[in-house]
Structure 1
Amino acid sequence: MNSLPTVSVLGLGNLGRTVAERFLEAGHRVTVWNRSAHRAERLRVGGAVVAADPAAAVAASELVVTVLLDHPAVREVLGGATAGLAGRTVLNLSSGTPEQAAELAAWVTDQGGAFLAGAVLAVPQTLGTSEAFTQVSGDTVAFERYRATLDRLGTVRYAGAAPELASAYDVAVLAGMYGMFAGFFQSLALAEASGITGAEITELLVPWLAGAAAVLPLFAGEADAREYATETSNLDINRAGLAAILDSGRARGVSDDLLAPLLARLDQQVTDGHGEKSLSRVVESFRTGTGETVRA
Structure 2
Amino acid sequence: MRNHDAGHTPVTVIGLGLMGQALAGAFLRAGHPTTVWNRTAAKAEDLVAQGATLAGSVGDAVAASPLVVVCVSNYEAMHELLDPLGGVLDGRVLVNLTSGTSRVARETAQRAAPLGGTYLDGAIMAIPQAIGTADAVILYSGPQAAFDSYESTLRSLGAGTYLGADHGLSSLYDVALLGVMWSVLNGFLQGAALAGTAGVDATTFAPIANTVIRTVTDWVPGYARQIDEGAYPADDSTIDTHLGAMAHLVHESEFLGVNADLPRHIKALTDQAVTDGHGGSGYAAMIEQFRRPSEARG
Relative to the length of structure 2, the TM-score reads 0.90
Rounded to whole Å, the distance in 2 between the matches of 1:81 and 1:260 is 52
1:53 to 34, 53, 57: 57
2:46 aligns with 42
2:213 aligns with 209
Map 1:141-156 onto structure 2 (within 5 A): 141-156=145-160
1:190 aligns with 194
Map 1:73-112 onto structure 2 (within 5 A): 73-112=77-116
Q: CA RMSD in A?
A: 1.9
1:166 aligns with 170
Rounded to whole Å, the distance in 2 between the matches of 1:119 and 1:146 is 16
2:33 aligns with 29
Q: Deviations over 1:120-148 (max 9, x none)?
A: 22233232332222221112222122112
1:131 to 135, 140, 153: 135
1:19 aligns with 23
CA contact (8 A) 1:223 1:280 kept: yes
Report how far residue 245 of structure 1 moved. 0.9
Report how far residue 44 of structure 1 moved. 0.7
Which stretch shows the higher mean deviation, 15-24 or 131-140?
131-140
Unaligned runs of 5+ in 1: 290-296
Rounded to whole Å, the distance in 2 between the matches of 1:54 and 1:192 is 52
Unaligned runs of 5+ in 2: 1-5, 294-298
Report how far residue 15 of structure 1 moved. 1.9
Report how far residue 20 of structure 1 moved. 0.6
Q: Give the AA of the match of 2:10.
A: T
Q: Give the AA of the match of 2:201.
A: T
1:118 to 104, 119, 122: 122
2:3 aligns with none
CA contact (8 A) 1:90 1:108 kept: no
CA contact (8 A) 1:24 1:48 kept: yes
Quickly say closer, same or farther: Cα 1:207–1:56, change in 2 above 3 A: same
Rounded to whole Å, the distance in 2 between the matches of 1:236 and 1:101 is 40
1:244 aligns to what SS in structure 2?
helix
Report how far residue 281 of structure 1 moved. 0.7
The percent of aligned pairs where both chains have the same amino acid is 37
1:68 aligns with 72
CA contact (8 A) 2:12 2:34 kept: yes
2:222 aligns to what SS in structure 1?
helix
Rounded to whole Å, the distance in 2 between the matches of 1:169 and 1:132 is 15
2:223 aligns with 219
1:266 to 270, 286, 289: 270
Rounded to whole Å, the distance in 2 between the matches of 1:187 and 1:40 is 43
Rounded to whole Å, the distance in 2 between the matches of 1:283 and 1:96 is 24
1:258 aligns to what SS in structure 2?
helix
**2:41 aligned with 1:5:** no
Q: How many residues were matched structurally?
A: 288
Q: Deviations over 1:236-256 (max 9, x none)?
A: 111111121121111122112
**2:245 aligned with 1:228:** no
